[in-house]
Structure 1
């Protein structure tokens, strides 16, 4: 296990494009950290700098007790699992898993034992003599993980490893990866654009946007206390409702109705998670439901409130139909953001 420290790490390409703005954070030993954000936000560039596949423009990267800015990828004691598996098609599973060890001149009996141990861990025993073309996508991903595991690295790096899998297999594999990381206790950095993967797998999430870090926190912190309107709208399915509100006389109002007490004056953006709007015949607020989305375990009500679009998440047994509905608001679950900057107030 290794602690990883980034000190004002920055990446600027020769054409002047700043892919990663100065970033500083520490990943603790054994921690599973997920970098999440939309395409082009800089998360993969950040991972590639940690891996040594991208030069660092500015700042220091420390893995364990070493500054590794100028250390070759092969000498950083890391193992990387790629999106496309990067398996050798002409080799068996056994040879694919042990190939890196063979290149390092490890004794054959040691390689055989490490491959066997990894196969046991990943349920690949029955596939060791098959070629990658004879495997499913999930099995190929396990082989790629096996190849990383046998190296006993101090740091695992995952670059969107599940994006090529179907939804059901993605769900299964993210549980397996998280359980495996827990058993091995290896410090891990995982890149994804899927906020569900981030929420379910991470010890801490780093949300990126436009090359900079928007927020670092536990899944609960990022979900319930987003640091900006970007985080609020990106994390969560469905995302947080963001509504234009007005603060006057220490009260936040929508459509002239007071929603909550709030110190300040002028326009703000009010954030409410869809599950924190509660259908209630005696509720103080009136919405107009325009569409009901059935999702099995729950329903999403698409509605308007004082001329603004909102979503409401309700349990499957809650009676709902289009038209007028009275609701109550969980006042202790509200988030307030600066209307200009989008930052949390």
Structure 2
């Protein structure tokens, strides 16, 4: 295992584009950290700098107690699992998994032992003599992980490894990846654009936006105390409702004139942004807030109500057993449901 420290690590391309702003991250031994954000936010660039596949413009990267800025990728004792598997089509599963060890000159008996151990761990024992074309997508991804495991790396790097799989298989594979990482006790960095994947896999999450780290925290912290409107709207399915409004220091009022009595208010007065998660709302015929339901979206285990609150778009998430229909109704907010953000910067107040 190895701890990872990024001290002001930054990436600027020759054309002047800053892909990653200076970032400071400490990852202790054995932690699985997920880098999440939309396409182009810099998460894969950051991972590739750790891997040595992208040059670091400024700052220092430590893996363990060693500065890695100028260390070749092959000498970093890391293993990377890619989105596209990167398997040799003419080799069997066993040869694909053991190829890196063969190149390092390990004895055949030791290679066979390591491959067998990894295959057992990944339920690939019956597929060792098959070629990649004879495997499913999930089996190919297991082979790619097996190839990484046999190297006994200090650090695992995953770059959107499940993007090519269907939804059911993605769910299964992320459970397997999490269980595997915990069993091995190895430090891992995992890149995804899927916030559900991030929430279910991570010990901690790093949320990136336009090359900047918006927030670092546990899944619970990211969800319950988003540091900005970007994090609030990106993390959560469905996303948080974000409104514009005002605060007088004691009470918040939505644009449109609806006051959120009893919900508190930030000490900052004037224009603010207000966030309410759809699941922190209850339908209540005697509730204080009028809500006009335009659409009821059935999703099996739950249903979403989409409509208008104080003239602004608003969604409510309900249990599948709760009755719902279009038209006017009233709602009540659960305790702690309201989040307040700065009107300009969007940062949490």
Residues 128-168 of structure 1 show CA distances to partners (whole Å, capped at 9, x for unaligned) of 00000000000000000000000000000000000000001
Deviation at 1:77, TM superposition (A): 0.6
Structure 2: tracts of 5 or more residues without a match? none
Deviation at 1:333, TM superposition (A): 2.4
CA–CA distance in structure 1, aligned partners of residues 96 and 152 of structure 2: 16
The equivalences for 1:5-154 within 5 A come to 5-154=5-154
CA–CA distance in structure 2, aligned partners of residues 330 and 145 of structure 1: 43
Classify 1:117/1:288 alpha carbon distance in 2 versus 1 (closer, same or farther; 3 Å).
same
**1:278 pairs with 2:282:** yes
TM-score by length of structure 2 reads 0.98
Question: Which has the higher mean CA deviation after the structures are superposed, 19-28 or 261-270?
Answer: 261-270
TM-score by length of structure 1 reads 0.99
Residues 39-87 of structure 1 show CA distances to partners (whole Å, capped at 9, x for unaligned) of 0000000000000000000000000010010000010010000000000
CA–CA distance in structure 2, aligned partners of residues 315 and 307 of structure 1: 25
Deviation at 1:256, TM superposition (A): 3.5
CA contact (8 A) 1:250 1:264 kept: no
Match of residue 318 from structure 1: 322
Question: Which has the higher mean CA deviation after the structures are superposed, 265-274 or 145-154?
Answer: 265-274
Deviation at 1:249, TM superposition (A): 5.1
- Backbone CA RMSD of aligned residues: 0.8
**1:227 pairs with 2:230:** no
Match of residue 260 from structure 2: 258
CA–CA distance in structure 1, aligned partners of residues 320 and 114 of structure 2: 49
Match of residue 192 from structure 1: 192
Match of residue 246 from structure 1: 246
CA–CA distance in structure 2, aligned partners of residues 277 and 77 of structure 1: 49
**1:207 pairs with 2:211:** no
**1:2 pairs with 2:2:** yes
Residues 250-269 of structure 1 show CA distances to partners (whole Å, capped at 9, x for unaligned) of 11112242342222311111
Q: Secondary structure at the match of 2:336?
A: helix
Q: Secondary structure at the match of 1:258?
A: coil
CA contact (8 A) 2:251 2:259 kept: no
